[in-house]
Structure 1
Amino acid sequence: MGLGLKFNLVLAGAFAVGLAGSSFVAYEILQTNAREEVVSKARLMMSNALAIRNYTTSEIRPLLGVAEDHEEFLPHIVPSFAAQANFRMMAKDYPNYNYKEAALNPTNPTDRATDWEADLIQAFRNDPDLKELVSVRDTPTGQTLVLAKPLTVNDPSCLDCHSAVDQAPKAMLALYGPGNGFGWQLNETIGAQVVSVPMSVPLERSWNTFLVFVGSLAGVFVGIAILLNILLSAMVIRPVVKISRMASDVSLGKMDVPEVEVTSKDEIGALSAAFNRMRRSLETALRMLND
């Protein structure tokens, strides 16, 4: 096995270890950044929903009045209705983005929590100090990040419509019926705000960036390997091969072999000078024997 082959095997092994380690670190960083990007979008959506809820409470409800003021129930005064209606309009342009105020016992049956949403709500009910949950779900369209916050009855005015059936506005009962959305208690967690954001685009961007990084790293390695092989061949292998051939000729009694030209002061130059001294010593010794 030649010196060049040994050198390249060691170089390839070092590159393989370095590439594996750096690729793992880069992949984890890119995946984390992609996840944080999606979480940031989800929090922005959640903040928008909260802003719509607060605007409805502070601006719209005073204009439209309370439910008892109308013969027909106006859902527009309900903060959750306004927030969800806004996101349903946004879904026309962003179909995989979703916002839902899921409840275990909602007034509107369309807001009833699915099994996985019910698990989120139950987690908030079990831990009152839990203010946010972030998870990733596998869906038919790919991975989706879910950000959830608890919906807790903190405003006593909510109980005007949701405490008991006989206390609820007749207009609301006429619209939704008496079978849902009652029996709520003050400070009870009755549901969760759930934001769903697709992760396919950030993950794909992360993967493409990872491939570019690995490809660039491999390209740099190939370039360095070629350069090192050229330098190794010019500065080490060819001079050593030349000295080896000359030493073989001298050992066979060919004393007409010229001396090695010393062109450097490094280890190869020292080896060349040592070979020349050995050759001259051997030539002198053979001459003395012949005399």
Structure 2
Amino acid sequence: MLKDNQLLKNLKIATKLNILLIAISVIIVLLSGGFLSLILSHNAEKVVTDKALVLMETMSAVRNYTSTKVNPELASRLETDNQFLPQTVPAYSAREVFEYFREQGGYKDFFYKEATLNPTNLRDKADQFETEIVETFRKDSNLKQTSGFRSFNSGDIFYIARPINVSKESCLRCHSTPDVAPKSLLVTYGKDNGFGWKLHEVVGIQMILVPANKILETAKKLQISVTSILVVCLLFAIILINFFLKFTVTTPLKKMAQLAQRISTGDLSQEFEHPFDDEMGMLAASLNRMKVSLEIAMDMLNSEAE
């Protein structure tokens, strides 16, 4: 402890100031980096969310079109055709349209799924993660949407999920009991899956998955760039402060210390000239007055001695 205190006492003003400036710069970089990370992460998530919401609304429009325009036109064929017409199902239409969308450049990592606990088509079967989200919507009837990140081997993917409710009694035609289901549905999918649904029940979720890695990486690169610029600016500021300190404080102090040493040895032939009327100028004027006073006192002593 004593050694540390002695070391601190021996440090020069410029060194002490540089230590202080470096400490302040480190704090500024850390705080600004943290705030910048939060801001950029929030902005990146907002960008991903907006993109996912556009896709979600598009798929909802496809579902609505299928339910109101396509299904009424093909409903009569469900009893007469040997095979079920999946084009009458909103979930099927939305999924197929999205698959065409994924074929476009740059969208292959986007996913859309209507995950259902008890689907007619097993490709829509909810996995454990999706089942937990369905149960969340079932427990909270006021919850209309949830979002977050889901981890895959390829990285984190942002998702938005909305509940799928049995909102119309017409839906129960294919999902209440096998007895009232269209014959073509039973021929194609059998009697074991997709039944037992109830009106107003949450049976699944409509989910959009959007890759967020590229957007998050861009945000991190921007954070690094801004932080680097900040570090360079702070270093430049420290260098400028050091130059200012050297020419206005440390160099004049060294010259005054040398003058004071000469005066202490009896050399009264020199004066210290400082061109500015700042604190250093006041100190220089006081030193010069002290020299003059000392010179007068020495002359008086010499006169008395003679």
TM-score scaled by length of structure 1:
0.97
Q: Which residue of 2 aligns with 1:77?
A: 88
Residue by residue, what CA displacement relative to the aligned partner does 1:163-199 show, whole Å, maximum 9, x if unpaired? 1001111111111111100111111111111111111
Question: C-alpha separation between the residues in 1 aligned to 2:233 and 2:89?
Answer: 61
Q: Which residue of 2 aligns with 1:60?
A: 70
SS in 2 for 1:262: coil
2:219 counterpart of 1:206: yes
Q: Which residue of 2 aligns with 1:27?
A: 37
Residue 54 of structure 2: which of 44, 58, 81 is its match? 44
Residue 115 of structure 2: which of 102, 117, 133 is its match? 102
Q: How does 1:137-148 map to 2 (within 5 A)?
A: 137-148=150-161
Q: State the shift of 1:91 in Å.
A: 2.4
Question: C-alpha separation between the residues in 1 aligned to 2:191 and 2:80?
Answer: 19
Question: C-alpha separation between the residues in 2 aligned to 1:92 and 1:260?
Answer: 82
Question: C-alpha separation between the residues in 2 aligned to 1:25 and 1:135?
Answer: 21
Question: C-alpha separation between the residues in 1 aligned to 2:283 and 2:197?
Answer: 93
Residue 101 of structure 2: which of 90, 96, 101 is its match? 90
Residue by residue, what CA displacement relative to the aligned partner does 1:129-178 show, whole Å, maximum 9, x if unpaired? 11111121221111111211000100100011111001111111111111
Question: C-alpha separation between the residues in 2 aligned to 1:188 and 1:59?
Answer: 24
Letter in 2 for 1:228: I
Q: Which residue of 2 aligns with 1:286?
A: 298
Residue 239 of structure 1: which of 252, 265, 269 is its match? 252
Q: State the shift of 1:262 in Å.
A: 2.9
Q: Which residue of 2 aligns with 1:185?
A: 198
Letter in 1 for 2:56: M
Residue by residue, what CA displacement relative to the aligned partner does 1:9-44 show, whole Å, maximum 9, x if unpaired? 111111111111111111111111111111111111
Question: C-alpha separation between the residues in 2 aligned to 1:246 and 1:262?
Answer: 13
SS in 2 for 1:149: strand
2:268 counterpart of 1:267: no
C-alpha contact (below 8 Å) 2:80/2:184 kept by paired residues: no
Alignment identity in percent?
36
Q: Which residue of 2 aligns with 1:4?
A: 14
SS in 2 for 1:263: coil
Letter in 1 for 2:302: N
Q: How does 1:221-240 map to 2 (within 5 A)?
A: 221-240=234-253
Question: C-alpha separation between the residues in 1 aligned to 2:152 and 2:261?
Answer: 73
Letter in 1 for 2:299: R
Question: C-alpha separation between the residues in 2 aligned to 1:269 and 1:95?
Answer: 73
Question: C-alpha separation between the residues in 1 aligned to 2:93 and 2:24?
Answer: 60
Q: State the shift of 1:57 in Å.
A: 1.6
Letter in 2 for 1:64: L
Question: C-alpha separation between the residues in 2 aligned to 1:285 and 1:139?
Answer: 90
Q: Which residue of 2 aligns with 1:158?
A: 171
C-alpha contact (below 8 Å) 2:37/2:223 kept by paired residues: yes
Q: Once superposed, what is the RMSD of the aligned Cα atoms?
A: 1.2
Letter in 1 for 2:19: L
Q: State the shift of 1:69 in Å.
A: 5.1
Residue by residue, what CA displacement relative to the aligned partner does 1:87-125 show, whole Å, maximum 9, x if unpaired? 122223422211100001000011000011010111111
Letter in 1 for 2:157: T
Question: C-alpha separation between the residues in 2 aligned to 1:122 and 1:132?
Answer: 13
TM-score scaled by length of structure 2:
0.92
Question: C-alpha separation between the residues in 2 aligned to 1:137 and 1:72?
Answer: 37
Structure 2 gaps, min length 5: 1-10
2:262 counterpart of 1:252: no
